[in-house]
Amino acid sequence: MRLAGNLFVRQGDKLSIKALFDGALRSLEHDRVSVVLFPEGRRNGGSESLLEFKKGAFYLAYCTHAPIIPIAVQSTRALYSWSDRRFCRNAVIRMRVLPPIATQSLAEEDIPALISSTRNDIQKACIALSSPAHANQQ
């Protein structure tokens, strides 16, 4: 995964978190490449509800004026069998790309509201992706 340019963080390690932020900032500003971040900060243990979002991804977008492209992902519980400790075959996971959020005119004091509204939008889309009606549309 490191060969693909993935950046890793050790939970609770402030130096690791700073190195991740600095690497992502460098990728966005100098390398002009996209960065994919999972704002929950960790796996949520299979809950249908999203965890609270961490602020790092939003501050990164604020600092670089990069747009935020929210992506809702249906629960991924079907991908991995914790009891067998292996990935499952033929699992279908639905995703929805939501409209981009511009950050050029974002003020630092707007970030908490942006985090909340983005989380709510993604949560609604995740619920819709998991609904039986959506599954029948396929």
Q: How many Cα atoms within 13 Å fall on the side-chain side of residue 6? A: 7
Segment 121-135, tens digit of pLDDT = 999 999 898 876 655
pTM of the model: 0.79
Segment 65-117, tens digit of pLDDT = 989 999 998 877 777 777 888 888 887 888 999 999 999 999 999 999 999 99
CA geometry: angle 20, 74, 34, nearest 5 deg: 35
Q: How many Cα atoms within 13 Å fall on the side-chain side of residue 24? A: 24
Helix (H) or strand (E) holding 113: helix 111-130
What letter represents residue 121's amino acid?
Answer: D
Q: What length does the chain have? A: 138
What value does the CA radius of gyration of the chain take, rounded to a whole number of Å? 16
